[in-house]
Amino acid sequence: MRQQFSVTGMTCGHCRQAVEQAVSRLDDVESVTVDLSAGRVTVGGHVTSDRVVEAIRAAGYVASPMAVA
């Protein structure tokens, strides 16, 4: 399953690394891709969107799920 999240506050490589690490630590996450210019994080695996949003929030950023076409 692939999910996308809109994330505000990411501006640099450190931000990318912080979000990738926070999300990849969650159980059942298979992949994490951060697109800084779009402010988007794509997560592959069988993890709930609530857990991803909370992990990103704990890393210091604001996240919300996006509809995946």
DSSP per-residue string spanning 30-44 = EEEEEETTTTEEEEE
State the fold for domain 2-66: Alpha-Beta Plaits (3.30.70)
Span 13-58, pLDDT tens digits: 999 999 999 999 999 999 999 999 999 999 999 999 999 999 999 9
Nearest residue to 62 (alpha-carbon basis) of 21, 20, 19, 31: 19
To the nearest 10°, the Cα dihedral for 15, 17, 23, 25?
Answer: -140
Span 53-67, pLDDT tens digits: 999 999 999 999 997
Domain ranges of the chain: 2-66
Tokens of 28: 């059942």
Nearest residue to 53 (alpha-carbon basis) of 30, 31, 28, 22: 22
Nearest residue to 7 (alpha-carbon basis) of 67, 68, 57, 69: 57
pTM: 0.92
